[in-house]
């Protein structure tokens, strides 16, 4: 089994998928823009070969270079688990006539408007939305949708340039703030809780399923620096609150023609108990979500994904043992971290439930919280009981504080 895996070293969790591929018996041919000498030592044993390209996002250039590199070799799979490269992987598969999702199918997971159209055409509930390209079109769409509404880029990530608009005046200031965004989605604001629905699929059928709860919704977490965003996987999936999202998710996978591999969907639960589609990618969630799922059931999804991608087989346990919560911290002040307070007390109380503590240490520069949900580090906890997991996670949000500055 010869597998081309795009970007095997960056983002860092890609190294885990590379390991997984090697562990299920694949020869991994990595393609990335990191220098060969700069690849982590721990990664090297898992790579059969590596091609460094100047720009991994330059699809035409990468296709040319990979084609030359692979001449004379037999390749069985071309894979990527990183959102910006899923189309490139599909283009390469088509170029070499390899199995896997086509460019058209993958585009349904990449283009937010096409995605919504396909999901809506299957009779599923999506926010009422318009794709708009000019200020006039935004105002017209707003008339039709009413307030509150959401303005966001069609191809956004990380809640960048996303605005909740509650009045005409707010619409005008959002329009001004979004002038640099070419294509905008103007949509009905869905008032509700937000969750993920994550899977590892074989031929579009989930071999593994997960739901995680966003506390608070990502837009609020990404707009307010004082918030310590919390995400908790839901151990008990078979409950009235969660079921509608799973039912929706399975139908979405069918509507979009999912094949093999990870999916990461976001959905809303309204007060009436209705599940509304948010968005979906045909790749795993980022920000340690796969680690969280692994802690939920003591599984290794890095490896099980690889088994699915190579052999269409999933051998991990689907038994859910814990609610696993991650808490991202943001320091008060700018510059370098100076101190952490409350951590000792917290560990004394809840240390038994803490599975990871990766807060940035004093002396380290703060990360840009707008650019990365990882912020200034995280704590990961788990507990079999939801209320206990919730309490332990929120204690880390409120009782542990990082300071920065001088």
Ligand X SMILES: Nc1ncnc2c1ncn2[C@@H]1O[C@H](COP(=O)(O)OP(=O)(O)OP(=O)(O)O)[C@@H](O)[C@H]1O
Q: Does 366 bind ligand X (CB under 6 A)?
A: no
Q: Does 198 bind ligand X (CB under 6 A)?
A: no
DSSP-derived secondary structure for 198-261: EEEEETTEEEEEEEEEEES-HHHHHH-TT---EEEE-S---STTTHHHHHHHHHHHHHHT--SE
Q: Does 229 bind ligand X (CB under 6 A)?
A: no
For the CB of residue 364, give the shortest distance to ligand X in the complex, in Å: 24
Q: Tell me which stretch binds ligand X (CB under 6 A): 72-80, 184-192, 344-352, 353-361.
A: 184-192
How far apart are the C-alpha atoms of 179 and 175, rounded to whole Å? 6
- Interface positions, 211-270, toward Mg ion (CB under 5 A): 266
Is there a contact between 262 and 81 (Cβ–Cβ < 8 Å)? yes
SS3 content of the chain, % helix, strand, coil (to 5): 35, 25, 35
Place of tokens 């408007």: 113
- The neighbour count for residue 148, using CB atoms within 10 Å, is 14
* Phi, psi (degrees; rounded to nearest 5) at 115: -55, -50
User: Between 13 and 304, whose beta carbon lies closer to Mg ion?
Assistant: 13
User: Between 162 and 323, whose beta carbon lies closer to ligand X?
Assistant: 162
Report the C-alpha dihedral over residues 131, 247, 209, 217, rounded to 10 degrees.
50
Q: Tell me which stretch binds ligand X (CB under 6 A): 187-195, 204-212, 300-308, 350-358.
A: 187-195
Cβ neighbours of residue 130 under 8 Å, at least 6 residues apart?
Answer: 137, 141, 144, 145, 185, 186, 187
DSSP-derived secondary structure for 179-205: TT-SSEEEEEPP-EEEEEEEEEEETTE
Q: Which of 113, 135, 139, 156 binds ligand X (CB under 6 A)?
A: 156
- Helix axes of 168-177 and 135-145: crossing angle, nearest 10 degrees: 150
- What is residue 349's DSSP assignment? H
User: Between 75 and 87, whose beta carbon lies closer to Mg ion?
Assistant: 87
Q: Which does 156 bind (CB under 5 to 8 A by kind): Mg ion, ligand X, none?
A: ligand X
Per-residue binder mask for ligand X (CB under 6 A), 160-179, x = binder: x-x-----------------
For the CB of residue 206, give the shortest distance to Mg ion in the complex, in Å: 20
Q: Does 187 bind ligand X (CB under 6 A)?
A: yes
Q: Which does 152 bind (CB under 5 to 8 A by kind): Mg ion, ligand X, none?
A: ligand X
Q: Which does 286 bind (CB under 5 to 8 A by kind): Mg ion, ligand X, none?
A: none
Place of tokens 């650019």: 371
Q: Which of 2, 102, 107, 159 binds ligand X (CB under 6 A)?
A: 159
- Give me the count of residues in the chain: 406
User: Between 84 and 257, whose beta carbon lies closer to ligand X?
Assistant: 84
Q: Does 249 bind ligand X (CB under 6 A)?
A: no
- Interface positions, 304-333, toward ligand X (CB under 6 A): none
Q: Does 189 bind ligand X (CB under 6 A)?
A: yes
Q: Does 294 bind ligand X (CB under 6 A)?
A: no
- Interface positions, 126-155, toward ligand X (CB under 6 A): 127, 150, 152
* Residue ranges binding ligand X (CB under 6 A): 127, 150, 152, 156-160, 162, 187-190, 194, 217-219, 266, 278-279
């Amino acid at each position: 089994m010869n597998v081309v895996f795009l970007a095997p070293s960056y983002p860092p969790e890609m190294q885990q998928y590379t390991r997984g591929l090697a562990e299920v018996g694949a020869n991994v041919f990595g393609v990335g823009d990191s220098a060969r000498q700069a690849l982590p030592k721990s990664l090297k044993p898992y790579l059969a070969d590596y091609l460094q390209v100047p720009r991994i996002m330059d699809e035409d250039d990468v296709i040319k270079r990979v084609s030359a590199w692979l001449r004379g070799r037999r390749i069985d799979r071309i894979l990527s688990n990183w959102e910006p490269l899923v189309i490139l992987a599909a283009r390469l598969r088509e170029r070499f006539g390899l199995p896997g999702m086509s460019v058209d199918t993958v585009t349904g997971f990449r283009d937010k408007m096409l995605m919504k159209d396909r999901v809506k055409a299957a009779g599923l509930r999506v926010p009422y939305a318009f794709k708009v390209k000019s200020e006039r079109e935004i105002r017209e769409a707003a008339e039709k949708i009413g307030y509150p509404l959401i303005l966001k880029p069609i191809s956004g990530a990380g809640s960048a340039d996303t605005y909740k608009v509650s009045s005409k005046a707010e619409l005008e200031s959002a329009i001004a703030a979004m002038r640099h965004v070419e294509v905008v989605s103007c949509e009905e604001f869905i008032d509700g809780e937000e969750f993920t629905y994550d899977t590892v699929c074989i031929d579009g059928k989930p071999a593994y399923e997960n739901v995680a709860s966003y506390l608070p919704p990502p837009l609020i977490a990404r707009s307010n620096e004082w918030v310590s965003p919390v995400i908790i996987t839901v151990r008990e999936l078979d409950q009235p609150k969660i079921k509608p999202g799973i039912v929706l998710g399975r139908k979405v996978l069918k509507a979009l023609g999912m094949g093999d591999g990870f999916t990461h969907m976001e959905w809303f639960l309204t007060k009436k108990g209705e599940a509304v589609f948010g968005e979906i990618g045909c790749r795993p969630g980022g920000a340690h979500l796969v680690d969280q799922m692994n802690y939920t059931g003591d599984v290794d999804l890095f490896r099980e994904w690889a088994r699915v991608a190579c052999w269409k087989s999933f051998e991990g346990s689907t038994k859910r043992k814990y609610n696993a919560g991650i808490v991202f911290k943001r320091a008060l002040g700018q510059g370098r971290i100076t101190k952490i307070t409350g951590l000792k007390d917290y560990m004394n109380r809840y240390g038994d439930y803490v599975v990871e503590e990766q807060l940035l240490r004093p002396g380290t520069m703060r990360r840009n919280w707008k650019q990365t949900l990882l912020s200034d580090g995280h704590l990961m906890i788990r507990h079999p009981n939801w209320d206990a997991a919730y309490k332990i996670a929120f204690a880390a949000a409120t009782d542990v504080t990082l300071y920065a500055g001088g």
